[in-house]
């Protein structure tokens, strides 16, 4: 009974009190303190709590020699943290990171994204680091309250982050390249203060969820302090690059292989296209009107540039375009924006601080992607003369230099995890002669795969490949993109040690297979061809193979359709073969034999 | 105020339930009445419902909070988008270092009148206004007020009905210190194409007379302005809008100015009430405070007849600086000095030497002439009275 009355009263109170509180507010009754409604005070308390929680995962990042620094944010209990590329640049592989607990931790550089201005580092010495909650930057709207945590002006001696508070001023902003490569696409604009030293630090939504990494600000003529305009790299972009950064590589961004312009009629049309691009192979041509890219409406040339810049190369995105009134929808695989030499050259200059563009070059009104414009400055912390320092032992144990990598050690770990998992589960296939029969819609297919040759007998004829010749010429059967070569490389991967295969590296996760789900890509390069071994992210099961005989043509794709495997090992039963726009062929393995006989 | 606070920070706060409580109470009364003649099982059910009615109230209340939370977020987006749709990006002359070729404007009539800052950006025949929907319009300078440093542009007449801020309504709104405001502008030219202009938030920290300078020159407007704590007046922001949290116009952002006292950059907006009358003139295509054009004078005034010489008009837009002043002339008696910049003849703004010569030619020499001049940043009003004996044929 009393409980009932209590609940009744509580319910009524919830409904009535706020109204009453507002009424008394409006009447201006009572002393000043009681004029502040309970709801406001509650909201204040919650805000303070949210900020305190978010501050725990915020890092003060310093160069190992104390020559500069910025901010960062931890995302995993084992210490993986994000910061800006331009914060780590010039420090070498070792960094020092201060947490609000007052402890200074060693950290090691893991991966770099110089175009997107992101660096992944790992704090060392704990397996229970406080972590930030991830938010969805795509859900952020203009007018949302946000707050920034970080170490502006490298102010905090005890590494307690400073908090600044503001509003989202713009979303899907594009900021033109500063220096040579770096550009901010699809970024968030806020009036929360971002100052030198805030670089690399987190931008949180009002619930304390990470929605961006602060990196740039428009300063102009008022000195290097905030004037109400800061930019953050979207968490959505970083989420896509996350596994790529874990690969220890210096990662690139994607290009479509085509450029567009906005016509006077307001249409976005292709004004140039590379014939070697996947977009071209999928049918995109000069003069086609782009309607949608990656699910986003393209109403202006800038929007395409903006939507494109947040993807790693190799990502497959839906593209909708119109030709002669007919709307076409294609899945297009994006290509790298730079070649390796360009990225390497960029990194060579990393010791020189990135300078803001001189002067002010405003763009014309409709601002196409080629228009030049003033680039905002990088709010990097104080740069002093760097000194040579020896790597701390914890860092040295996790650092391996290699050209094209920020830290090869991390790549090696992922290669070995994926490679070993597969070798272990597919031990029976570790043999030099594979013989198997499959049924297809058109009849039975008989395969023989060996280190020197491979053959396929189908009702349509017999096909063979000779692997002592130039591999790029052995692409039979015709129209498959090199099915026999793909199987040969798979066999080679299982029968040789990973290191003896050729060049092998872990790429990261890409949308893969017919469903376009994210899967791990382990890349092998041998004899001028590139093969991707595609694994499920959790169990490291082999999901498929993707072989690129050259950069100009469609890959041969072998996708294993379900988890059914044969003979207690990882020889999948149901295959789907794809090449370009040809209709896929489905195989069902009926019998098999793995032996070492020649 | 309270509502605004909650709307921004935490739209789910219970205070936002204000509009809806009767709705939830209705639910409960509906459930507990009308129980006569019910079968036992149903009665039992009702008893259960009654037993948990408190919980039900809570549930319904929470549901209501959730609902109002969603709708408040949607309203807020609507307020911002509506306000943004009335702000245009303007592109014109400039492009040199620290002379941005862009600024902001506000649509103030359904037929395409755009209020913006009067600046060098407008100094071109190729003036473009980009609307919120990305549509591109050729704009023409219709009229300007050199004291307020505001101008009205006109977009071509067509079928389009533009979204606009009602300046008349805005002039009736008096914003106060402590009021939370939003600033809409294309500062730094960040938004291009159909991208929406930037939104900054802040508070009116003071309503105070403008005492500012641009370079060494004192800004001509001295009336009250809204001083803001948001970084409102950045490059490209001039002509942007100051709105309240309902998206209603309060004022227009002025050009970048520094405080004459401290030298710091000012963040301010001209109150709608202060600019309303002038803008009405501009909307009619008239210079503000314009005189009715007099008949052709019997003996028109000229600079030499009044006793001064202007600098040579090397360009069409040569500013009307005084080069020298004759001894014992009307000009000298009135206190005119070399290097004074003439900005007004009477109430007519004077942008150039030819414009001054034209204005003088319309003036009867015998009549006293009011000249407004800028000297060391100060606006001085001089009255030139011509004596009969000073006539020079």
- To the nearest whole Å, the CA of B378 is away from the closest chain A CA by 25
pLDDT > 80? residue A128:
yes
Contact between B193 and A167 using a beta-carbon 8 Å cutoff: no
| Chain A residues with CB-CB distance to B196 below 8 A | 142, 170
Q: Phi/psi zone of residue A42: left (φ > 0), alpha (ψ -120 to 50 degrees), beta? A: alpha
Q: Whole-angstrom Cα distance, residue A4 to residue A107?
A: 57
- pLDDT band for B10, please (50, 70, 90 cuts): very low
Alpha-carbon dihedral A198, A204, A208, A210, rounded to 10 degrees: -100
- pLDDT band for B366, please (50, 70, 90 cuts): confident
Q: Whole-angstrom Cα distance, residue A300 to residue A283?
A: 21
Query: Catalytic positions of A, please?
Result: 86, 117, 199
Average model confidence (pLDDT) for chain A? 85
Instruction: Quick: pLDDT tens for A404-439.
Output: 899 999 999 999 999 888 888 787 788 889 999 999
Choice between B76 and B16, residue whose per-residue pLDDT is larger: B76
Question: Looking at the DSSP assignment, which residues form a beta bridge with residue B138?
Answer: B128
Q: Whole-angstrom Cα distance, residue B39 to residue A444?
A: 71
pLDDT at A439: 94
What phi, psi does B203 have (nearest 5°)? -135, 145
Half-sphere exposure of residue B184, counting CA atoms within 13 Å on the CB side?
33
- pLDDT band for A396, please (50, 70, 90 cuts): very high
Q: Whole-angstrom Cα distance, residue B5 to residue A535?
A: 49
Determine how β-strand A209-217 pairs with β-strand A133-134.
parallel
In order of A182, A184, A231, the CA distances from A177 in angstroms are 5, 7, 13
Query: Best of B7, B32, B56, B57 to disrupt the A interface by mutation (most A CBs within 10 Å)?
Result: B57
Q: Whole-angstrom Cα distance, residue A100 to residue A273?
A: 51
pLDDT at A568: 63
List the single residue in B15, B25, B98 with the smallest CB-CB distance to A22.
B15
- To the nearest whole Å, the CA of A387 is away from the closest chain B CA by 37
Q: Cβ of B194 under 8 Å from any chain A Cβ?
A: yes
Instruction: Confirm if A184 and A173 have CB atoms less than 8 A apart.
Output: yes
Tell me the two tokens of residue A127: 């397996």
For chain B, the distance separating the N- and C-terminal CA atoms, rounded to the nearest angstrom, is 69
Minimal-distance CA residue of chain B relative to A170: B198
| Chain B residues with CB-CB distance to A367 below 8 A | 192-193
3-state secondary structure at position A581: coil
What is the per-residue DSSP string for A343-382?
A: HHHHHHGGGSPPPPPSS--PPPTT--TT---PPPBP----
Quick one: average pLDDT of A389-410? 91
Closest CA to A529 of A452, A447, A474, A455: A474
User: Degrees (nearest 5) of the Cα angle B216, B219, B225?
Assistant: 135
Instruction: Confirm if A518 and A500 have CB atoms less than 8 A apart.
Output: no
Instruction: Quick: pLDDT tens for A45-57.
Output: 999 999 999 999 9
Query: Any idea which of A119-128, A363-372, A394-403, B133-142 has the lowest mean pLDDT?
Result: A363-372
Tell me the two tokens of residue B155: 């977009």
DSSP designation for A154: G
Closest CA to A384 of A65, A60, A94, A85: A65
- To the nearest whole Å, the CA of A232 is away from the closest chain B CA by 14
Instruction: Confirm if B201 and B228 have CB atoms less than 8 A apart.
Output: no
Contact between A15 and B13 using a beta-carbon 8 Å cutoff: no
Q: How many CB pairs under 8 A join A and B?
A: 193
Q: Which domains does chain A have, with CATH numbers?
A: 47-253+344-383 (2.40.10.120), 254-336 (2.30.42.10), 408-595 (2.50.20)
Instruction: Confirm if A580 and A513 have CB atoms less than 8 A apart.
Output: no
Minimal-distance CA residue of chain B relative to A205: B9
Helix axes of A2-27 and B2-9: crossing angle, nearest 10 degrees: 120
Q: Whole-angstrom Cα distance, residue B63 to residue A528?
A: 62
Contact between A42 and B100 using a beta-carbon 8 Å cutoff: no
Q: Cβ of B96 under 8 Å from any chain A Cβ?
A: yes
How much is the CA Rg of chain B, to the nearest whole Å? 29
pLDDT > 90? residue B50:
no
Q: Which domains does chain B have, with CATH numbers?
A: 2-84 (no CATH), 87-154 (2.40.10.10), 170-276 (2.40.10.10), 303-390 (2.30.42.10)
Q: Cβ of B70 under 8 Å from any chain A Cβ?
A: no
Minimal-distance CA residue of chain A relative to B194: A300
The interface predicted TM-score (ipTM) is 0.80
pLDDT > 80? residue B123:
yes
List the single residue in B80, B91, B189 with the smallest CB-CB distance to A142.
B80
For B:72-91, CB contacts with A below 8 A are 76-77, 80, 84, 89, 91
Minimal-distance CA residue of chain B relative to A373: B189
Tell me the two tokens of residue A332: 């297009």
| Chain B residues with CB-CB distance to A4 below 8 A | 51, 53-54
Neighbour-count burial for A378-390, b at 16+ CB within 10 Å, e otherwise: bbbbeeeebeeee
Tell me the two tokens of residue B289: 């405070």
This prediction has a pTM of 0.77
3-state secondary structure at position A338: coil
DSSP designation for A220: G
In order of A148, A203, A228, the CA distances from A206 in angstroms are 10, 10, 18
pLDDT at B64: 55
Instruction: Quick: pLDDT tens for B165-185.
Output: 999 999 999 899 999 999 999
Q: What residue has token string 């004029």? A: A35
């Amino acid at each position: 009974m009393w409980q009932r009355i209590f609940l009744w009263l509580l319910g009524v109170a919830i409904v009535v009190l706020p109204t009453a509180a507002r009424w008394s507010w409006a009447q201006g009754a009572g002393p000043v303190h009681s004029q502040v409604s309970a709801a406001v005070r509650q909201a204040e308390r919650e805000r303070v709590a949210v900020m305190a929680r978010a501050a725990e995962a915020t890092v003060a990042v310093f160069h190992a020699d104390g020559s500069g620094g910025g901010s960062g944010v931890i995302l995993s209990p084992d210490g993986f943290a994000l910061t800006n590329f331009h914060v780590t640049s010039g420090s070498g592989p070792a960094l020092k990171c201060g947490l609000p607990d007052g402890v200074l931790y060693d950290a090691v550089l893991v991966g770099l994204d110089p175009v997107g201005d992101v660096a992944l580092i790992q704090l060392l010495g704990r397996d229970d680091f406080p972590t930030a909650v991830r938010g969805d930057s795509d859900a952020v709207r203009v007018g949302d309250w946000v707050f920034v945590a970080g170490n502006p002006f490298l102010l905090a001696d005890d590494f307690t982050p400073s908090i600044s508070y503001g509003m989202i001023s713009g979303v899907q902003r594009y900021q033109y390249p500063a220096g040579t490569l770096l550009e901010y696409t699809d970024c968030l604009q806020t009036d929360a203060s971002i100052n030198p030293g805030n670089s690399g630090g987190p931008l949180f939504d009002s619930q304390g969820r990470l929605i961006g990494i602060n990196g740039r600000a428009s300063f102009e003529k008022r000195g290097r302090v905030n004037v109400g305009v800061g930019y953050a790299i979207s968490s959505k972009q970083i989420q896509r690059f996350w596994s790529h950064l874990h690969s220890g590589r210096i990662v690139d961004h994607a290009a479509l292989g085509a450029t567009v312009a906005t016509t006077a009629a307001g249409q976005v049309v292709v004004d140039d296209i590379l014939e070697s691009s996947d977009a071209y192979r999928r049918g995109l041509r000069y003069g086609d009107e782009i309607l949608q890219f990656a699910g986003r409406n393209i109403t202006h040339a800038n929007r395409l540039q903006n939507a494109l810049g947040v993807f790693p190369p190799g990502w497959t995105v839906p593209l909708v375009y119109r030709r002669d009134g007919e709307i076409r929808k294609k899945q297009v695989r994006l290509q790298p924006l730079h070649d390796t030499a360009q990225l390497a050259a960029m990194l060579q200059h990393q010791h020189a601080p990135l300078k803001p563009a001189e002067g002010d070059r405003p763009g014309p009104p409709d601002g196409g992607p080629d228009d030049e414009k003033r680039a905002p400055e990088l709010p990097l912390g104080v740069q002093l003369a760097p000194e040579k320092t020896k790597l701390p032992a914890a860092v040295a144990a996790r650092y391996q230099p290699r050209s094209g990598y920020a830290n090869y050690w991390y790549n090696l770990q992922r290669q070995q995890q994926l490679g070993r998992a597969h070798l272990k589960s597919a031990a029976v296939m570790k043999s030099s002669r594979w013989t198997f029969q499959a049924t297809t819609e058109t009849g039975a297919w008989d395969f023989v795969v060996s280190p020197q040759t491979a053959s396929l007998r189908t009702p349509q004829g017999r096909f063979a490949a000779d692997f002592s010749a130039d591999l790029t010429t052995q692409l039979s059967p015709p129209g498959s993109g090199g099915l026999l070569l793909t199987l040969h490389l798979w066999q080679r991967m299982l029968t040789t040690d990973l290191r003896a295969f050729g060049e092998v590296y872990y790429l990261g996760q890409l949308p893969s297979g017919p469903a376009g789900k994210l899967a791990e890509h382990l890349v092998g390069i041998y004899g001028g061809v590139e093969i991707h071994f595609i694994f499920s992210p959790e169990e490291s099961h082999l999901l498929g193979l993707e072989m690129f005989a050259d950069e100009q043509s469609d890959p041969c794709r072998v996708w294993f359709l379900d988890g059914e495997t044969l003979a207690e090992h990882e020889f999948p039963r149901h295959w789907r073969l794809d090449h370009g726009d040809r209709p896929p062929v489905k195989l069902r393995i009926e019998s098999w034999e793995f032996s070492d006989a020649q | 105020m309270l509502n605004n606070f909650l709307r921004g920070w935490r739209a789910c706060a219970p205070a936002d339930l204000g509009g809806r409580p009767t709705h939830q109470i209705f639910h409960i009364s509906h459930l507990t009445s009308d129980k006569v003649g019910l079968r036992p099982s149903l009665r039992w059910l009702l008893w259960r419902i009654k037993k948990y009615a408190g919980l039900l109230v809570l549930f319904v209340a929470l549901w209501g909070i959730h609902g109002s939370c969603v709708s408040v977020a949607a309203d807020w987006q609507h307020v911002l988008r509506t306000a943004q749709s009335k702000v245009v990006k303007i592109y014109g002359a400039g492009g040199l270092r620290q002379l941005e070729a862009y600024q902001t404007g506000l649509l103030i009539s359904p037929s395409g009148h755009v209020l913006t800052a009067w600046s060098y950006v407008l100094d071109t025949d190729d003036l473009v206004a980009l609307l919120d929907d990305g549509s591109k319009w050729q704009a023409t300078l219709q009229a300007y007020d050199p004291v307020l440093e505001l101008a009205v542009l006109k977009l071509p007449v067509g079928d389009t009905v533009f979204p606009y801020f009602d300046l008349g309504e805005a002039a009736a709104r008096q914003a106060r210190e402590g009021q939370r405001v939003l600033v809409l502008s294309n500062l730094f030219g960040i938004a291009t194409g159909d991208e929406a202009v930037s939104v900054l938030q802040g508070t009116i920290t003071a309503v105070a007379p403008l005492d500012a300078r641009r370079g060494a020159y004192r800004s001509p407007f001295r009336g009250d302005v809204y001083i803001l704590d948001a970084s409102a007046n950045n490059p490209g922001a001039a002509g942007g809008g100051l709105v309240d949290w309902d998206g209603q116009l309060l004022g227009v952002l002025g050009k970048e100015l520094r405080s004459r006292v401290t030298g710091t950059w000012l963040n301010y907006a001209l109150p709608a009430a202060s600019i309303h009358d002038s803008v009405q003139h501009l909307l009619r295509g008239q210079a503000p405070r314009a005189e009715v054009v007099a008949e052709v004078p019997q003996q028109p005034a000229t600079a030499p007849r009044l006793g001064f010489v202007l600098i040579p008009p090397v360009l069409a837009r040569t500013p009307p600086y005084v080069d020298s002043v004759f001894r014992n002339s009307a000009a000298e008696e009135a206190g005119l000095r070399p290097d004074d910049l003439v900005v007004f003849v009477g109430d007519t703004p004077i942008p150039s030497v030819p414009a001054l010569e034209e204005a003088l030619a319309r003036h009867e020499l015998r009549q006293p002439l009011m000249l407004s001049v800028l000297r060391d940043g100060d606006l001085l009003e001089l009255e030139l009275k011509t004596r009969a004996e000073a006539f020079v044929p």
